[in-house]
Amino acid sequence: MDHIRLGIIGLGKMGLEHLKNIADGRCPRVKAAAFADPGPDKLRKALQMVPEAQPFTDAEKMLDSGAVDAALICVPHYLHPEYAAMCFRRGVHVMTEKPAGVYTRQVRMMNDAAKDSGAKFAIMFNQRTDPLYSKAREIVAGGLLGAPKRLVWIVTDWYRTQAYYDSGSWRGTWSGEGGGVLLNQAPHNLDLWQWIFGMPKRVRAFCTAGKYHDVGVEDDVTIYGEYENGATAVFISSTGEAPGTNRLEISGTLGKIVIEDRRLKWWRLHEDERHICFNCSDGFAVPGTEYEEFSAPAPDGHPILLNNFADAILDGTDLIAPGEEGLNSLCISNAAYLSSWTGAWADIPVDEEAFEDKLAELCEAEKR
């Protein structure tokens, strides 16, 4: 085979955007063989882009048709694990949009299904393709920052108006989305946090619902995380600030990196700060540094990840964003919610039963 036959499940904004990338020839090893959506208008739009594809109003019928050997899942968050499991039972390879799901128990079950099936499983964490974040990961993982001290990420450039939340009845709801900025916009950043800096052991979070919009879910978040080695992290995000900020700072015993405005700035200490602290006789000495800077245009990560998905299926290439790793960012967001709801620390892995009970209460309250 020189291409994969892809079926797209869900033809909302993202499903049609991925289809357009394929139709425009940006994913040469991906053929849009079919798509499934209950909406006739959406199917008509999709057929205008790819007339030769097979349309289905039911995803299960598409998967049983034999028309596809891989699927791209672009449906509301709660349904990601359900459709992924449906694919894995049939040996169909899966790429899912983020987040992996709404709560960790269902995502762990999805990961188990992927493992049992032997099919490839990827998640659309397209910001992993950004060379600046890849460089940061390389620096931290390579020990070039020394022992990690702190991560601080202010990412408030996810601004949304009320019209955005009003555009669909499922938006801005616990029962429709499973959360707000942490589940809809910030999964990319939560993924990069743990991808670069690792998983915290516990978090204390403040998630404010409806602070800037008429919604019942959080649109403003501050998370404080602690690590086994004593390192800490602070993560701030919102859909209600303009102009927004996107600034990532990571410090260690050998220096600091900052990513902002499409530049990675790197200050490298001549010696480990811990050694200087306890061996220098000058109480006001400042460690010497060398400075490097990197810049790169923002890539269009969606077709990059689709091409990588095809290469993984056809050639065995390593996935940039393995689907199983979607559990990590969800562990952080689930723990952040639970911490905010209880007013206390939440450990990672999260108390799944406590989280699910509270989420069910919020969904039931919305119905009332």
Q: Given this model, what pLDDT does residue 349 score?
A: 96
Q: Given this model, what pLDDT does residue 20 score?
A: 98
Q: Given this model, what pLDDT does residue 9 score?
A: 98
* Across 169-185, average pLDDT: 96
Q: Given this model, what pLDDT does residue 184 score?
A: 95
Indicate left, alpha or beta for 156 from its phi (over 0: left) and psi (-120 to 50: alpha). alpha
Instruction: Quickly list H helices, 94-241.
Output: 104-117, 131-141, 162-166, 181-184, 187-197
Q: Given this model, what pLDDT does residue 63 score?
A: 98
User: What is the rounded distance in angstroms from the CA atom of residue 267 to the CA atom of residue 160?
Assistant: 34
Tokens of 215: 């919604």
pLDDT, averaged across the chain = 97
Judged against a pLDDT cut of 90, whether residue 355 lies above it is answered with: yes
Q: Given this model, what pLDDT does residue 153 score?
A: 98
- The CATH number given to 4-127+301-322 is 3.40.50.720
* Across 3-17, average pLDDT: 97
CB 69 within 8 Å of CB 42: no
Cα-trace Rg, the chain? 22
Q: Given this model, what pLDDT does residue 1 score?
A: 78
Query: Distance of CA 352 to CAs 214, 346, 358, Å?
Result: 28, 11, 10
pTM of the model: 0.97
Residue 67 burial (C-beta neighbours within 10 Å; 0-12, 13-18, 19+): middle
Judged against a pLDDT cut of 90, whether residue 242 lies above it is answered with: yes
Other CB atoms closer than 10 Å to residue 100's CB: what's the count? 29
Q: Given this model, what pLDDT does residue 88 score?
A: 98
3-state SS assignment for residue 194: helix
User: What is the rounded distance in angstroms from the CA atom of residue 44 to the CA atom of residue 65?
Assistant: 20
Q: Give yes or no for a cis peptide into 349 (omega within 30° of 0).
A: yes
* Across 104-130, average pLDDT: 97
User: What is the rounded distance in angstroms from the CA atom of residue 262 to the CA atom of residue 260?
Assistant: 6
Judged against a pLDDT cut of 90, whether residue 368 lies above it is answered with: no
Q: Given this model, what pLDDT does residue 196 score?
A: 98
Extended strands (E) in 185-315:
202-209, 218-226, 232-238, 246-252, 255-260, 263-269, 289-295
Question: Among residues of the chain, what percentage have pLDDT more than 90?
Answer: 98
What residue segments make up the domains of the chain, in order of their start?
4-127+301-322, 130-298+329-367
Judged against a pLDDT cut of 90, whether residue 254 lies above it is answered with: yes
Q: Given this model, what pLDDT does residue 216 score?
A: 96
Q: Tell me which fold the domain 130-298+329-367 belongs to.
A: Dihydrodipicolinate Reductase; domain 2 (3.30.360)
Judged against a pLDDT cut of 90, whether residue 201 lies above it is answered with: yes
